[in-house]
């Protein structure tokens, strides 16, 4: 007996010996279907579109898996990259991302970040608490006057964003009155230091300062006098010009 094997008809433009992940293809249109788990996408070359099969969708496309085909679909026109047709992850130039949407302007209560191109919360300025008032002084002196001024300061702990509330003043000065005391010859007042320091003033070669003391500068006599208080912590540093 003679036996015959009848082959199914094949379209003359369809090839079974495809490369590059194609299951079926044609010389003119490229891939027509893909091997399992690969995504089918149409790429434009001039006026022509050809099919290609990729392991993942290119930028500007999102992938969807169907029982018979895995397909790449182009994101919306204002969307540079997207998770699906309704959720953008990055917008094209001129648009701001907010909750998966690309907007011309950010909603009320938000502001545009031109670096990330996203709508972000408005940040207002924040400042620390005021410091204690400084000693009453006049022209840098703490003696030889009755009416002077005292100052307190604070630090900016959070700088504002573009639409945030501006920062408040970081210093305040008010008038003060003290009992007049006569300055000693050459005395300029009392300056409180809060940490160990080495000073090279008036050719002074060496000086050990103890925190918790007051330093009196006497330019005429070119000496430094320390008035001890209650706590002392010694330190010794190398010569450093200031």
| pLDDT recorded at residue 187 | 56
Using only C-alpha atoms, the chain has a radius of gyration, in whole angstroms, of: 39
Residues lower than pLDDT 70 in the chain: 1-17, 185-242
Domain that holds residue 144: 127-157+164-177
| pLDDT recorded at residue 165 | 93
Strand order in the sheet with 223-228: 190-192, 213-218, 223-228
| pLDDT recorded at residue 63 | 93
| pLDDT recorded at residue 143 | 87
What is the average pLDDT score of the chain?
76
Count CB atoms within 10 A of the CB of residue 72.
Answer: 20
214 within some domain:
no
| pLDDT recorded at residue 1 | 45
99 within some domain:
yes
| pLDDT recorded at residue 189 | 52
Looking up residue 86, the CATH number of its domain turns out to be 2.10.220.10
Burial of 182-202, coded b for 16+ CB within 10 Å and e otherwise, reads: eeeeebbbeeeeeeeebbeee
Rounded to 5 degrees, φ, ψ at 18 are: -90, 160
> How many domains would you assign to the chain?
3
Of 74, 94, 109, the residue at which a domain comes to its end is: 74
């Amino acid at each position: 007996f003679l036996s015959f094997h009848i082959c199914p008809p094949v379209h003359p433009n369809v090839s079974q010996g495809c490369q590059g992940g194609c299951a079926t293809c044609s010389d003119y249109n490229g891939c027509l279907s893909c091997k399992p788990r690969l995504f089918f996408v149409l790429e434009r070359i001039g006026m022509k579109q050809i099919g290609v099969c990729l392991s993942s969708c290119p930028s500007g496309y999102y992938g969807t898996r169907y029982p018979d085909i895995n397909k790449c679909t182009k994101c919306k026109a204002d969307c540079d990259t997207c998770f699906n047709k309704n959720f953008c992850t990055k917008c094209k130039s001129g648009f701001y991302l907010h909750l998966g949407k690309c907007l011309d302007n950010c909603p009320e209560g938000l502001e545009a970040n031109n670096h990330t191109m996203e709508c972000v919360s408005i940040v207002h300025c924040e400042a620390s608490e005021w410091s204690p008032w400084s000693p009453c002084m006049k022209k840098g002196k703490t003696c030889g006057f009755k009416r002077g001024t005292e100052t307190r300061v604070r630090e900016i702990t959070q700088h504002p964003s573009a639409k945030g509330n501006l920062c408040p003043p970081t210093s305040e000065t008010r008038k003060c009155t003290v009992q007049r005391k006569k300055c000693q010859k050459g005395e300029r007042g009392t300056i409180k230091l809060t940490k160990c320091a080495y000073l090279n003033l008036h050719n002074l070669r060496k000086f050990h300062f103890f925190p918790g003391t007051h330093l009196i500068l006497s330019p005429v006599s070119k000496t430094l006098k320390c008035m001890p208080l209650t706590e002392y912590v010694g330190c010794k540093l190398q010569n450093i010009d200031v």
